[in-house]
Structure 1
Amino acid sequence: MNLFQRLARSRIPTAARTAIRIRSLRGYSTSSPPPAMEPLKLYNSLSPGNPVPFTPIEPGKISWYACGPTVYDKSHLGHARNYVSTDIIRRILMHYFDYKVNFVMNITDIDDKVTPTVRIIIKARRQRLLDLEKKKTYSADELRALALAAFQAYAKSSLPLLLKEGEELTEANYAERRAAGYGKVLAGGTITGEGKPGDDEAKVKMHIGNMDAAAEAIKKGEVFPGADDILLPYLDSLYKETIDTADQTMFTDLTQSMEKLFMDDMDALNVLRPDVITRVTEYVPQIVKFVEGIVNKGFAYEAEGSVYFDIAAFEKAGNTYARLRPDNRNDESLQEEGEGSLSKNLGGKRGAGDFALWKKSKAGEPYWSSPWGNGRPGWHIECSVMASDVLGSRMDIHSGGIDLAFPHHDNELAQSEAYFCEHGKGEHTWVNYFLHMGHLSISGSKMSKSLKNFQTIQDALATTYTSRNMRVVFLLGKWNYGVEISPDMRSQADNWETTISNFFTNTKSWLAEADVTGGVKALSLDGDRPQEGLLAELEQAKSELHAALLNSFDTPRAMLVILKLVNATNVFLKDNKDVNLAEVEAIARWITKIVGIFGLDANAEPPYEGIGWASPISADVDPKTAVEPYVCVLERIKADVSALTLSNGEAMPALLAQDPVSEFESLAQAGSRDLEKLALPYLRAASKIRDELRRIVSSQSPETKKALLSLTDRIRDQDLTNLGVYLDDRPDNQPSLIKFIPAAELIAAREEKAALLAEKARKKEEVRLAAEKAKQEAREKAKVPPEELFKNDERYGAWDEQGLPTKMKDGSDVPKSQQKQLKKAWEKQKKAHEDLKAKGGL
């Protein structure tokens, strides 16, 4: 169903069936949430199971630290899932539950957590080495030899099934080896042949993609840039120790540019900026002091220039390690991942699970001075120091992606509680509530930069989603659950957004038609009488949504409540003749507030008191300048109508004399920055002129009638559509409804309609041409005398005087059954020939 069809089905019942009553109503708030009878409850990873009551350290205030991005590449939809879901919770706490939130987020601009290929340090270093390599002078043979060496090294490291003992892997035999070793994975299977594909298979496909590009580049002799992905690790293995890391701009230049892109992406997604942003490179001195503090308390030790957290000593003192994921504490693969590939070959650890707080730097790695020698911070210590520096020894909320629970967040907790604990006084609580956002998955695999199975936020917003639509998708899933993008989920999100948008559009249209400009912001009730009709639906929706948000921000339930209320309102409008438009407006205002709180309107600001998606004028644009396009359209319409000679047009002079300026100025002087309200006086004037033209069109001369129809269509489909305004024509001389819809949607619908009409005309023309061709062919065939019809048919060898075949080519008689068919065709040809002759066609 296209846009115009949806609009046609979403009209208010006609005036003949519906009496719209407006009255002054006060006393019933449509904005503030109902008083909380139950406490807010949160899913807390520190207390697995059901949601637990939320009690902030300081009443009315919340301290919150969120693990931010490691900025080494463009952000993808997996990041959007994390940070948009975090933003939704933050907005609900601030604008629904009225908490004052101090939101702190870090930017990791130096890191060694490599899983499994590149992060900031390695990517920056490898890129520097590749840039240097490209400046060298190579012969074609030398460049090919370099590429093949990297090709084989990459296969050995990442795709060992490509290799055969005693046989060199080259671009010539690569495709055959790939099919033999990884054909099942490429066909959608698993490496083991069992279960469903996951991260391991995604990694294989990523590596094969790199090898495919390299093989093609080697074939063409164009090694750069086609083979870059395999050259990066190979060159790093050869020359990483030659890089002088005293100049840390190699790393910070990369991260600063990526941080800007990340912030731009968050702005595009309508994610609120953090109150405080911390960066690792700005905190190294504090990190060194923090590590010294842990060492001094006996919970860490130095070994070979690195400092490790002593889990055994920590637990012996009565503390708990791995509080978030106790079952994972002995998982060696997770421990190794947490330490990062740059920590390999660092020795001296007392316990297998002990993790680095400070790491001795090796050649090719960035470093800072410390009491233990040149080194760099461990991954986990960064967040502990930055969060504690801003929020102190305790915080209400710490959040991040679910993949960070162990070891990152568990290690954060341990080292922070070790730093702040006082011996003999029991365990220290550093974080009260840990919130972990669920993954976003594609084809069963976590979306990840390192797996290269991601769509960047920039690309998604340019091709697939709008910011609002993406947020709706995430709102329809629980923040702590995994989300897998599917066609059904996208369809559900699209339908939700369309339904709500249509309701807003229609409500504003009905209010404009009823000439309600001030708005009905509150409703009064008669005593304690139970509410009925739409007011009862609104009260029920408020109660249900409040309960949903109290239950750990259950946004899927909240979104369903909103949808049910809109559907119930639409049914009520359809089935009831006597509709109180003030009640409809109250519902629209409440829904507007909630979707504003959810961050679904990038143009709206608290307290979200309007109706529908906001269209404010930019602060640096004068209202008169903003409405100029609408003024121009009205003046053009007036000029075109004045040039017509109309009969039965007595009402037109008064309509052409309309001057909306005074109404506009009154709104502007009152301080309105709502473009729709400011433009409405001009649109009403234009719509009334067009409605009158439609009313009198049947009484005009044919020539004038044609001109009028063309003009009314142009006003609706061109002039106003280009401004984001749709005139919904109604029968029985009712005035058109003015509907504000994004111009891009209207133009797309107009182009779709034009394309459908063009396709219909094309098919009609094809049918006409086919019929004409068949007619011409029949005419040409009719020119042949019946006596000559079968003379050139090589199947036959003899004919009678009428030209009918008597013998087959082999001398046998023509079968009797065939003789009947031939006679019938001969008679038909004779009639066609004689008819053509009678018409003078011969």
Structure 2
Amino acid sequence: MNLLRVLSRSRPSITVTANSLVYRRYASVAVAMASLKVHNSLQPGVPVPFAPIEPGKVSWYACGPTVYDKSHLGHARNYVSTDIIRRILMHYFGFKVEFVMNMTDVDDKIIIKARRQRLLELEKKKTYSKEELRALALAAFRAYAANSLPLLMGEGAKLDEANYAARRDAAYGKVLAGGTLSGDGKPGDGEAKIKMHIYNMDAAAQAMKQDAIFPGADEILLPHLDSLYKETIDTRDQTMFTDLTKGMEALFMEDMANLNVLRPDVITRVTEYVPQIVDFVERVVKKGFAYEAEGSVYFDIAAFEKTGNTYARLRPDSRNDKSLQEEGEGSLSKNLGGKRGAGDFALWKKSKAGEPFWPSPWGEGRPGWHIECSVMASDILGSRMDIHSGGIDLAFPHHDNELAQSEAYFCEHGKGEHTWVNYFLHMGHLSISGSKMSKSLKNFQTIHDALSTSYTARSMRIVFLMGKWNDGVEISPDMRAQSDNWESTVSKFFTNTKSWLAEAGVSDGVKSLSISKGKPATGLVADLEQAKKEVEAALVNSFDTPRTMLVILKLVNSTNVYLKDNKEVDLAEVEAIARWITKMVGIFGLDANATAPYDGLGWASAISANVDPKTAVQPYVAVLDKVKADVTKLSLSSEAIPALLAQDPAKEFDSIASSGSRDIEKLALPYLRAVSQIRDELRRVVSAQAPQTKKDILAITDQIRDHDLTNLGVYLDDRPDNQPSLIKFIPATELIAAREEKAAREAEKARKKEEARLAREKAEQEAKEKAKVPPEEMYRSDERYASWDEQGLPTKMKDGSDVPKSQMKSLKKLWEKQKKAHEDLKAKGGL
């Protein structure tokens, strides 16, 4: 279709109305209150109606990270999915959300890592002989193997770096080959942990062979040094712990910002709540739901249930899982005694030597893991909250224990169970090759590394949006391909729509183009209305983003097909679709440059607040000035060129800038349009120019498109029949990558062509050299034969026998071929 004609024709008929489809009100709080349902871990099964405590408002507490290491993609899965739900509640349904998140900065993992790092630092300052250092490393090597890879210890000679590899392959070869330790089933967390330990042992063995103990053997030295010296650490100085947690918290917040995750309204930290935690525990004890034993305080599950309360409401089947109970208590709690019930859990832990401590009525100690969330969430949100969220692996024992101790704290005897949380939202975890991504397993890719190599914040969000928030996500090439296709399709649609609008001379967007309310819903308008209904139905069904993503993709594809198959297209309908999709991707957090209510069109391209618009457009001005200078030097027969060179886009730019626009695409468009018009005219007149001028014009037009504008993230889409080129804004990285890929293909093509030419020349030269030999001489040097006739054909074999007739026939044929080649060469003067 002649799109320019259609756009120009359709524009005058478009009207602006306050109730246009573009401004159509999205799902409201009233709609959400009436129909929104969510998956609630407290009521497993189908989604249940969502009814917040206070209409229109949502109180939400999210379990934050334990800040002892860098955040990985598993954290991204949790917190990005949480952010998506939060944004939907706020920006789609219109709820006012109070979002609280904690930072766990006191924990067994933190204590162990900080303490071990301090001990390693001290050890490296000691003076060791070569033999002493090797002895230390060897002791650590064997201790690590005994604790983590016991099959290495075996029979016979003691384990060392020399016999390690053979023992490793014999004991754990199946795991290293991708199987299981037993040889049955699929590998899981156990195999992932074995691989992690083997990796550490491999590094240590190599370091010992090279006498490079530090840092090669650090990972095996850390637990060994801790076992030797942990009780010698003076934990009155808590900087070893706070330095670690503050640094890791800062990295976590940086990662979240890079992923476009909204900051929590309130951030709480355990170390800032210790007095409140002590008071909380005291009340639970006084109410008869906890008891002190040997300096620690434990929650009394039996007493709690005896009064009619329910324990393990989230995971009743896991309440007697000893491994989960031990994991919940932490590795430093193994020697704490005095518990009455096997499942009773610590509210307050007696601190041992080498552990941080605070004063309490029960002696020096520290908070249990679960108590922190109960105290901090209740302090900010009160005795009840709408939503509590976290990763699925926290359901038991962490969240079940939180519920029990909080409901014990707030319950009143004789009034039944207290409801502390109405809705528990658990995010599915991320897995790699069947194993949960985990810091402790060290099978993770950090968020920072992922964003530096294989993901953008947008592409990572799209991956998570294409899976249900409460389901597990397995990273796979197919999943990445689907998400990349979704992003590419939507991005191209945005780019094309903005290009068509620019070509039609529309600079004010919806103020100039909009669909009248009274217009019948047909064609693209009907498709848009249907998409809105389907998206609303998906989002009220427990935030079904996979369905929403499919609806958006379907709408873009159907719009593209419609544009291809129909000559009469109303650009306002295309614009309305693009603006609705823009709002949806904004709500999902896919555009870090956009802000609510996301009324723009396409990916936002705002310049930073501290950059002056004139400064921002200078690269585009420079391209225009360069083009004018290059074209002025040409001797052209064109009446249009002088007028095009004389035009000054500055006035149009000033008008856009004075409106307060910070959109770099809008600000740059006047200059880009001038460049494109000059280039289009050059392409129109090139065929009528003299050969050298024609060559110069083609060089200029290619330079403009493939270099000057590509480097600015602008692509000129050339079209036939003297139609003006479409100006498209595409990330410069993509355009440059495409240019380099094209150059690489052309270079490879040229290389193969040159190789073929050289091969031909070599073959021709070899044939020429071969042809120089007279046919009478070609067999005389062959040692297989003893005599020849006058033509040089063999008559006798070396043993005196006659040359076989079958062989003679072949020899004669080759002789004749050589004779012809020799004579041809002689005729050409080659001899």
* SS of equivalent residue, structure 2 residue 137: helix
Q: Report if the CA contact (8 A) 1:19-1:578 is conserved.
A: no
* SS of equivalent residue, structure 1 residue 29: coil
Corresponding position: 1:97 with 2:93? yes
Q: Report if the CA contact (8 A) 1:305-1:360 is conserved.
A: yes
Deviation of 1:785 after TM superposition, in Å, equals 1.2
**Equivalent position to 1:714, from 672, 688, 703:** 703
User: Which residue number corresponds to residue 126 of structure 1?
Assistant: 116
Tell me which amino acid in the other structure corresponds to 1:395.
Answer: M
User: Which residue number corresponds to residue 24 of structure 1?
Assistant: 15
Deviation of 1:34 after TM superposition, in Å, equals 4.3
Corresponding position: 1:400 with 2:390? yes
* SS of equivalent residue, structure 1 residue 28: coil
User: Which residue number corresponds to residue 42 of structure 1?
Assistant: 38
Deviation of 1:18 after TM superposition, in Å, equals 7.9
Corresponding position: 1:33 with 2:22? no
Structure 1 residues 422-431 or 376-385, which shifts more? 422-431
User: Which residue number corresponds to residue 639 of structure 2?
Assistant: 650
Q: Deviations over 1:6-47 (max 9, x none)?
A: xxxxxx765578875122242323353146285111100011
Q: Report if the CA contact (8 A) 1:439-1:482 is conserved.
A: yes
Between the aligned partners of 2:659 and 2:5, the Cα distance in structure 1 is: 36
Deviation of 1:444 after TM superposition, in Å, equals 0.1
* SS of equivalent residue, structure 1 residue 359: strand
* SS of equivalent residue, structure 1 residue 739: strand
Deviation of 1:193 after TM superposition, in Å, equals 1.9
Between the aligned partners of 2:9 and 2:482, the Cα distance in structure 1 is: 32
Q: Report if the CA contact (8 A) 1:20-1:581 is conserved.
A: no
**Equivalent position to 1:77, from 54, 73, 79:** 73
User: Which residue number corresponds to residue 761 of structure 2?
Assistant: 772
Tell me which amino acid in the other structure corresponds to 2:26.
Answer: P
Distance 1:531 1:34, change over 3 A: farther
Corresponding position: 1:534 with 2:524? yes
Q: Report if the CA contact (8 A) 2:15-2:516 is conserved.
A: no
User: Which residue number corresponds to residue 208 of structure 2?
Assistant: 218
**Equivalent position to 1:626, from 616, 634, 642:** 616
Q: Report if the CA contact (8 A) 1:129-1:236 is conserved.
A: yes
**Equivalent position to 1:196, from 171, 182, 186:** 186
User: Which residue number corresponds to residue 206 of structure 1?
Assistant: 196
Corresponding position: 1:313 with 2:306? no
Between the aligned partners of 1:20 and 1:333, the Cα distance in structure 2 is: 72
Q: Aligned runs of 1:413-428 on 2, under 5 Å?
A: 413-428=403-418
Q: Report if the CA contact (8 A) 1:18-1:577 is conserved.
A: no
Q: Deviations over 1:131-184 (max 9, x none)?
A: 111111111111111111111111110111111245311111111111111111
Between the aligned partners of 2:338 and 2:383, the Cα distance in structure 1 is: 30
Between the aligned partners of 2:6 and 2:398, the Cα distance in structure 1 is: 64
Between the aligned partners of 2:431 and 2:220, the Cα distance in structure 1 is: 26
Q: Deviations over 1:798-831 (max 9, x none)?
A: 1111111111222221111221221121122112
Q: Report if the CA contact (8 A) 1:19-1:577 is conserved.
A: no
What is the count of residue pairs matched by the alignment? 823
Between the aligned partners of 1:596 and 1:136, the Cα distance in structure 2 is: 56
Deviation of 1:227 after TM superposition, in Å, equals 0.8
Structure 1 residues 513-522 or 724-733, which shifts more? 513-522
Cα root mean square deviation, aligned: 1.3
Q: Report if the CA contact (8 A) 1:13-1:573 is conserved.
A: no
TM-score normalized by the length of structure 2: 0.98
Corresponding position: 1:512 with 2:505? no
* SS of equivalent residue, structure 1 residue 435: strand
Deviation of 1:489 after TM superposition, in Å, equals 0.2
Q: Aligned runs of 1:7-18 on 2, under 5 Å?
A: 15=4
Q: Deviations over 1:257-313 (max 9, x none)?
A: 111111111111011111111011111111111101111111111010000001111
Between the aligned partners of 1:107 and 1:15, the Cα distance in structure 2 is: 56
Q: Aligned runs of 1:465-544 on 2, under 5 Å?
A: 465-520=455-510, 523-525=514-516, 527=518, 530-544=520-534
Q: Report if the CA contact (8 A) 1:24-1:520 is conserved.
A: no
* SS of equivalent residue, structure 2 residue 370: helix
Between the aligned partners of 2:561 and 2:7, the Cα distance in structure 1 is: 13
Between the aligned partners of 2:248 and 2:787, the Cα distance in structure 1 is: 89
Corresponding position: 1:434 with 2:427? no
Between the aligned partners of 1:470 and 1:555, the Cα distance in structure 2 is: 14
Tell me which amino acid in the other structure corresponds to 1:28.
Answer: S
User: Which residue number corresponds to residue 752 of structure 2?
Assistant: 763
User: Which residue number corresponds to residue 51 of structure 2?
Assistant: 55
User: Which residue number corresponds to residue 690 of structure 1?
Assistant: 679
Between the aligned partners of 1:125 and 1:451, the Cα distance in structure 2 is: 20
Deviation of 1:520 after TM superposition, in Å, equals 2.5
Between the aligned partners of 1:653 and 1:558, the Cα distance in structure 2 is: 52
Q: Report if the CA contact (8 A) 2:22-2:510 is conserved.
A: no
Q: Deviations over 1:439-483 (max 9, x none)?
A: 100000000011011001111011101110000000000000000
Between the aligned partners of 2:688 and 2:734, the Cα distance in structure 1 is: 35
Distance 1:199 1:684, change over 3 A: same
Distance 1:34 1:133, change over 3 A: closer
Deviation of 1:488 after TM superposition, in Å, equals 0.4
Runs of 4+ in 1 over 6 A off after TM superposition: 16-19
Corresponding position: 1:636 with 2:629? no
Between the aligned partners of 1:424 and 1:328, the Cα distance in structure 2 is: 28
Between the aligned partners of 2:366 and 2:385, the Cα distance in structure 1 is: 26
Tell me which amino acid in the other structure corresponds to 1:452.
Answer: K
User: Which residue number corresponds to residue 3 of structure 1?
Assistant: none
Q: Report if the CA contact (8 A) 1:334-1:406 is conserved.
A: yes
Between the aligned partners of 1:164 and 1:574, the Cα distance in structure 2 is: 71
Between the aligned partners of 1:802 and 1:82, the Cα distance in structure 2 is: 89
**Equivalent position to 2:381, from 391, 401, 405:** 391
Corresponding position: 1:564 with 2:557? no
Corresponding position: 1:255 with 2:245? yes
Tell me which amino acid in the other structure corresponds to 1:470.
Answer: M
Distance 1:18 1:370, change over 3 A: closer
Distance 1:735 1:530, change over 3 A: closer
User: Which residue number corresponds to residue 187 of structure 1?
Assistant: 177
Q: Aligned runs of 1:248-397 on 2, under 5 Å?
A: 248-397=238-387
User: Which residue number corresponds to residue 7 of structure 1?
Assistant: none
User: Which residue number corresponds to residue 734 of structure 1?
Assistant: 723
Deviation of 1:759 after TM superposition, in Å, equals 0.2
TM-score normalized by the length of structure 1: 0.96
Deviation of 1:530 after TM superposition, in Å, equals 4.5
Distance 1:382 1:363, change over 3 A: same
User: Which residue number corresponds to residue 675 of structure 1?
Assistant: 664
User: Which residue number corresponds to residue 154 of structure 2?
Assistant: 164
Between the aligned partners of 2:762 and 2:218, the Cα distance in structure 1 is: 59
Between the aligned partners of 1:625 and 1:564, the Cα distance in structure 2 is: 40
User: Which residue number corresponds to residue 733 of structure 2?
Assistant: 744
Tell me which amino acid in the other structure corresponds to 2:203.
Answer: A
Between the aligned partners of 2:558 and 2:214, the Cα distance in structure 1 is: 62
Identity %: 79
Q: Report if the CA contact (8 A) 1:43-1:50 is conserved.
A: yes
Between the aligned partners of 2:692 and 2:807, the Cα distance in structure 1 is: 62
User: Which residue number corresponds to residue 794 of structure 2?
Assistant: 805
Between the aligned partners of 2:157 and 2:399, the Cα distance in structure 1 is: 46
Between the aligned partners of 2:344 and 2:55, the Cα distance in structure 1 is: 38
* SS of equivalent residue, structure 1 residue 787: coil
Tell me which amino acid in the other structure corresponds to 1:685.
Answer: A
* SS of equivalent residue, structure 2 residue 423: strand
Structure 1 residues 825-834 or 445-454, which shifts more? 825-834
